């Protein structure tokens, strides 16, 4: 068939859309400090959390003319009935939102409500948290509902604290970068080895993975640890006085807001955000 195609003279221009960046923070097993790492990164990414305000704005003058990064901290958990500690309780959101309504994102998702544009803003972070009411109501999100929550929550950068998840591997595949937190105690590493192997497979297939050894201390046999983990490069956060974490919670603060914790971790977190994520 002989057909004639005449192209009209038009200007072909693609407008760059700044997509949200999803950072998945996950532990090799429970109790390794995943929430500490995730909340610290969220705090640093908020406009008042960077030392000397050193921040490269990914969304500056993009569409809305915004000059700050919208940061969301999102708890990702599909075993809510097993969860025994909450960010909601640990830093006192019942007090922070005493005169404001706190959006229950988990409840809204299960009811099929539209969550776009909804925020729980406090300290320049949008907090998408599991609430005591969610536990009481025995809310459980299906994998497709969790993906809806992750992809529709408001924010330019979504820090996903992935805990107590039977479908963690599926959620990690949807992340732009994975920060894998390890407690180097032998029993914990042995128990979490299958998950470590799965995340290494993701890295081999092209997923960006940042390896972070938490609670690093002088009792570690570094050769044995490295022979077991077999990591080419990893970041370290030192073991710290537990009293600082207790003090933070008694004062309804994030651990990172405690001066001695911030002093011992800020350099590592800044390196991760600048070198690995390009956000500083």
- Kindly state whether residue 152 falls inside one of the protein's structural domains: yes
Q: Rounded to two decimals, what is the model's pTM?
A: 0.87
- Kindly state whether residue 11 falls inside one of the protein's structural domains: no
Task: Work out the pLDDT band at 18, boundaries 50, 70, 90.
Answer: low
**179: helix, strand or coil:** strand
- pLDDT number for residue 10: 56
CA atoms in the 13 A half-sphere facing the CB of 230:
6
* Tens-digit pLDDT profile for residues 46-66: 865 444 333 333 333 334 444
32-43: average pLDDT: 96
Residue 58's closest CA among 21, 25, 22? 21
> How far is CA 136 from each of CA 107, 132, 202, 260, rounded to the nearest angstrom?
11, 6, 36, 36
Residue 22 has pLDDT above 70, yes or no: yes
Residue 8 has pLDDT above 70, yes or no: no
Residue 134, token pair as written in the block: 């969610």
- Kindly state whether residue 257 falls inside one of the protein's structural domains: yes
- What's the CATH number where 195 sits? 3.40.50.300
Q: Give residue 90's domain range.
A: 21-276
- Kindly state whether residue 4 falls inside one of the protein's structural domains: no
What domain count does the chain have? Answer: 1
Residue 245 has pLDDT above 80, yes or no: yes
- pLDDT number for residue 3: 73
89-94: average pLDDT: 94
- pLDDT number for residue 71: 95
- Kindly state whether residue 14 falls inside one of the protein's structural domains: no
**180: helix, strand or coil:** strand
Residue 7 has pLDDT above 70, yes or no: no
102-108: average pLDDT: 95
- Kindly state whether residue 8 falls inside one of the protein's structural domains: no
- pLDDT number for residue 57: 39
- Kindly state whether residue 5 falls inside one of the protein's structural domains: no
- pLDDT number for residue 78: 76
Residue 93, token pair as written in the block: 């959101």
* Tens-digit pLDDT profile for residues 133-174: 998 888 888 889 999 999 999 999 999 999 877 888 889 999
- Kindly state whether residue 100 falls inside one of the protein's structural domains: yes
């Amino acid at each position: 068939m002989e057909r004639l195609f005449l192209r009209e003279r038009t200007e072909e221009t693609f407008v760059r859309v700044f997509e949200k960046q999803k950072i998945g923070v996950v532990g090799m097993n429970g109790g390794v400090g995943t929430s500490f790492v995730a909340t610290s990164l969220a705090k640093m990414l908020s406009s008042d959390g960077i030392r000397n305000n050193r921040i490269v704005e990914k969304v500056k003058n993009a569409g809305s003319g915004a000059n700050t990064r919208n940061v969301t901290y999102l708890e990702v958990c599909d075993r809510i009935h097993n969860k025994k500690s909450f960010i909601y309780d640990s830093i006192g959101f019942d007090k922070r939102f005493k005169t404001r309504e706190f959006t229950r994102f988990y409840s809204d998702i299960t009811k099929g409500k539209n969550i776009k544009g909804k925020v729980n803003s406090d300290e320049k972070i949008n907090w998408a948290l599991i609430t005591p009411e969610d536990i009481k109501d025995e809310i459980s999100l299906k994998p497709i509902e969790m993906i809806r929550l992750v992809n529709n929550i408001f924010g330019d950068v979504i820090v996903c604290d992935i805990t107590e998840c039977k479908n963690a591997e599926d959620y990690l595949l949807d992340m732009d970068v994975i920060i894998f937190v390890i407690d180097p105690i032998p029993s914990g590493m042995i128990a979490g080895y299958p998950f470590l192997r799965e995340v290494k497979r993701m890295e081999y297939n092209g997923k960006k993975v940042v390896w972070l050894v938490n609670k690093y201390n002088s009792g570690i046999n570094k050769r044995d640890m490295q022979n077991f983990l077999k990591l080419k490069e990893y970041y370290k956060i030192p073991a710290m006085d537990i009293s600082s974490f207790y003090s933070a919670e008694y004062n309804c603060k994030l651990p990172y807001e405690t001066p001695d914790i911030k002093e011992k971790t800020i350099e590592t977190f800044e390196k991760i955000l600048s070198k690995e994520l390009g956000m500083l």
